[in-house]
Amino acid sequence: MAVGLGSDAEKPPEGWEKDFARDLDMYGENAALGASRRLTDRERQPAEGKQAGILNWIFGGAKETPEGVDPPTVTLQSDPDLHYPTEKDVAKSKEVDQTYGDPVAPYTRAGGATMKHIDIPSMLKIREMGKSISTGSKPRLLSEDDALKVHQSWLAAERSPVSKLGFAPGKTIESFDPRVRLNVAGLYEPGSDTLWYDSTYPSAIVHESIHRGLNQLITAGKIPEGLHGNNEELVVRALMIRHFGDQESKESGVSPQNHYQIRAATELLRDPKYRKTLDDIESAAADMIAERRPKGPR
């Protein structure tokens, strides 16, 4: 399965990069609280210098498609199977003891570890108070269903070095309430190094693991600091599309915010320079993993 833009697909308007940055500057935990405020021009101004710098890093040297030549549909990874891991995939993984030697192993067995949990009303209240989600979460022994979810998420995170770098059940807080629909399905708090996700949306933990992996790369000086913010969200969306096709669209529907982000990231994936940038980021993550585990995972 290849993911790309067809001839009749809706394309972002000219100058969409700037609009994207301006419209989504409150993306993240504030969006989860339904915040409607937008930054003023005075508040936004200091950030636009970094925005320009990172866009130059992403797009510098890109060549336009020659006139009269249709850009090719982008094949986003060599493996054509972009499905999100299923229970059958978990069963196959268990058959070969695939998690052996990996820190995730205890989390893939019922009763093997504890994972933090918080109900959504409590999470929202804590965020309104300006506190870390970790302050209101409680550890819970993993059930069979919990362990299955972690195993599926681990298999998914293994597809990208960036999500593999950031995937950490011990630093993850889960909520589950299919009756509640928030504007976002997950958050990453760099200050507390805590990841929260709503498991109603299975791939949200991988999305936030990519954020955590990118934060580690930025902190280590492997990629530019200016990647934080809206540019980071573009990278995360693009990597999710690269490895899972339209999984996020299937899970979260077509909210205006998600639609705009996914559409923008899909459009960027047409650019050879941007695809090369993603390759470089994933290569940096793979190198960082190798540095931490010089003898491999076992």
Domain definitions of the chain by residue range? 92-292
Distance (Å, rounded) from C-alpha 124 to C-alpha 32?
8
Q: For residue 43, what are the contacts with CB-CB under 8 A and spacing of at least 6? A: none
- Could you give phi then psi for residue 114, rounded to 5 degrees? -110, 150
Given a cut of 60, is residue 66 above it in pLDDT? Answer: no
Given a cut of 60, is residue 13 above it in pLDDT? Answer: no
Pairing of strands 194-198, 172-175: parallel
pLDDT, residue 228, reads 56
Q: How many helices (H) and strands (E) does the chain have?
A: 12, 5
| Share of residues in the chain with pLDDT > 90 (%) | 44
The CB-side HSE value for 140 (13 A sphere, CA atoms) comes to 17
Confidence of residue 53 (pLDDT cuts 50, 70, 90): very low
273 CB neighbour count, 10 Å cutoff = 14
Given a cut of 60, is residue 18 above it in pLDDT? Answer: no
Rounded to the nearest 5 degrees, what angle is found at the Cα of 240, between the Cα atoms of 80 and 59? 100
Higher pLDDT among residues 47 and 53, named by residue: 53
In the block, tokens 């492997």 appear at: 222
Higher pLDDT among residues 33 and 107, named by residue: 107
pLDDT, residue 116, reads 95
